[in-house]
Amino acid sequence: MALEFRVLKECKRTGARLGELKTPHGVINTPVFMPVGTRGTVKAMTPEELKSVGAQIILGNTYHLYLRPGHELIKRAGGLHSFMSWDRSILTDSGGFQVFSLGDLREISDEGVHFRSHIDGSGHFISPEKAVEIQNALGADIIMAFDECPPYPCDYEYARNSMEITAKWAERCLEAHRNTKTQALFGIVQGSVYKDLRKESARQITSLGFPGYAVGGLSVGEPKDIMYSMLEETVPLMPGGKPRYLMGVGSPDALIEGVIRGIDMFDCVLQTRIARNGTAMTSRGRVVVRNAVYAEDFSPLDPECDCCTCTNYSRAYIRHLLKADEILGLRLTTYHNLYFTLGLMGKIKEAILEDRLPEFRDEFFERYGY
C-alpha cells in the first residue's frame, strides 16, 4: 500500500479534521502545508532547513523537472528524493496547470497537449499516459492525475467540456498507473466556478476510486468567497476517509478557511515568492521589510516569532541585504515565511484538537488584519 490515511478527530462545529497520512517516506500530520520545490529545490532552502521549519512533505513540479534536467536523468539519479537529497515525502503535480498556463504556446486535444518549452521553444507533447510516466520516473510518494485546469473567467460550455476531458484523462491516468504500487495517484475535481459542474466533477472523479482527491482550478483569479463556496459544494461529495487536497492555495486566511471546509492538504508558492520580494508574514500581518520605514528598525521581522531569522536578525539588517541584492536576505525572509506558515498549521491543528477552530479563526483574522 503506497498510502494510508486515518482521520484522528473531526471538528464538531466545522468540517475540519485532524488526520495522519502515511507514505513510504514517513508520516504526515494533516492538515498540512506543502512548500513548493518547483525545480527540485524549495527556493533558497536546504532540505535540512525545510525539516527545521517542520515540513513533512514538499511539492515538485513535473512540467519544470521534465524540461530541466529531465525526468530520465532524475530517474537515473535514483528518483527525485535522491536527486535533491530529501528523504521525507514528495508530491508531484501533473504538469497540467503549468502547461495550460502557457497560453499561445500550447494546443489541447482529446489526446493530450502539444506545447512549446518556455526555456528553449522546443516542441513537446504530454498526454495523461505521459504525465504518469514522467511522475513514475520522478518517483514522488503522491502523484497527480493529468487534468485540464480552465482559466478564470471561463464560460459554462468551456468549463463543462474541460470537466469532461478531465474525467476521461483521470481514467487514462489510473490505467497507466495501474502497475505502480509505490506511488499513490490522486484524482482532481474541476468544474470552474459552476456549482453543478463542481458537483458533477466530484461524482465523476470519486467514482473512479482514487486513494486521494484534489480540488483543482481554484485560486486562479476568482474572488475568495467564490472559492470557498466551491469548496462547500465539492468537499461533501469527496469521501471522508480519503485525504483532500486544495491545489495552489496557501494564504493564511485561505488555509484556515480551507481547513474549516474539510481540506487536509495545501501547497502554495506565495510564502517563498513574497519572501523574495521582501515581504514577511507575521503575527500582525504582512511586513514589507524593503520599505524605507524599516531602515533603522532593529526589531525582528515578527517580535512573536522564535525562528532563526527572528532570533538573530533585525528588520534593518534584512532590509539592507534585500536592497543590496544579497542572497542572505532572500534566505532569511524565505525561512521565516515558511516557519510562520508551518507554525500556523500547527496552531490550526491545536485549535481543532481543542474544539476552538472558529474562535481561533476570528482571533487570527483580527490580529492579522483581514
Q: Give the interface segment with its own copies, choosing from 159-167, 260-268, 326-334, 358-366 (CB under 8 A).
A: 326-334
In angstroms, the first-to-last Cα distance of the chain is 42
Place of cell 527572528: 310
Q: Does 323 bind its own copies (CB under 8 A)?
A: yes
Q: Which helix (H) or strand (E) holds 299?
A: none
Residue 331 or 349: the one with the smaller Cβ distance to its own copies is 331
Residue 155 cell numbers, joined: 464560460
Q: Does 105 bind its own copies (CB under 8 A)?
A: no
Contacts with 167 (C-beta within 8 Å, 6 or more apart), sequence order: 201, 204, 205
**Following DSSP, what letter does each residue of 193-229 receive, concatenated?**
T-HHHHHHHHHHHHTT--SSEEE-S-SSSS-HHHHHH
Q: Does 161 bind its own copies (CB under 8 A)?
A: no
Is 120 designated active site? no
Q: Give the interface segment with its own copies, choosing from 1-9, 164-172, 234-242, 310-318 (CB under 8 A).
A: 310-318
Considering only 85, 182, 207, 277, the residue that binds its own copies (CB under 8 A) is: 85
Is 93 designated active site? yes
Considering only 296, 350, 354, 362, the residue that binds its own copies (CB under 8 A) is: 296
Separation CA 314–CA 72 (nearest Å): 44
Q: How far is the CB of 41 from its own copies (least distance, A)?
A: 5
Q: Give the interface segment with its own copies, choosing from 71-79, 194-202, 257-265, 361-369 (CB under 8 A).
A: 71-79
Separation CA 354–CA 364 (nearest Å): 16
- The catalytically annotated residue of 155, 267, 325, 362 is 267
- The per-type count for the chain, helices as H runs and strands as E runs, is 15, 16
The partner residues of 244 in beta bridges, in order of sequence, read 213
Residue 13 or 68: the one with the smaller Cβ distance to its own copies is 68
Q: Does 314 bind its own copies (CB under 8 A)?
A: yes
Residue 248 cell numbers, joined: 495552489
Q: Does 321 bind its own copies (CB under 8 A)?
A: yes
Q: Does 304 bind its own copies (CB under 8 A)?
A: no
Separation CA 180–CA 78 (nearest Å): 16
- The catalytically annotated residue of 93, 141, 147, 264 is 93
Q: Does 327 bind its own copies (CB under 8 A)?
A: yes
Considering only 6, 9, 13, 73, the residue that binds its own copies (CB under 8 A) is: 73
Q: Residue 12, class by beta-carbon neighbours within 10 Å (0-12 exposed, 13-18 middle, 19+ buried)?
A: exposed
Q: Does 331 bind its own copies (CB under 8 A)?
A: yes
* HSE-up (13 A, CA, CB side) for residue 298: 0
Q: Which amino acid is at 193?
A: V
Residue 211 cell numbers, joined: 486513494
Residue 2 or 328: the one with the smaller Cβ distance to its own copies is 328
Q: Give the interface segment with its own copies, choosing from 138-146, 180-188, 189-197, 308-316 (CB under 8 A).
A: 308-316
Enumerate binding residues for its own copies (CB under 8 A). Answer: 39-41, 43-48, 68-69, 73, 76-78, 83-85, 295-296, 298, 308, 312-314, 316-317, 319-321, 323-324, 326-328, 330-331
Known catalytic residues?
93, 267
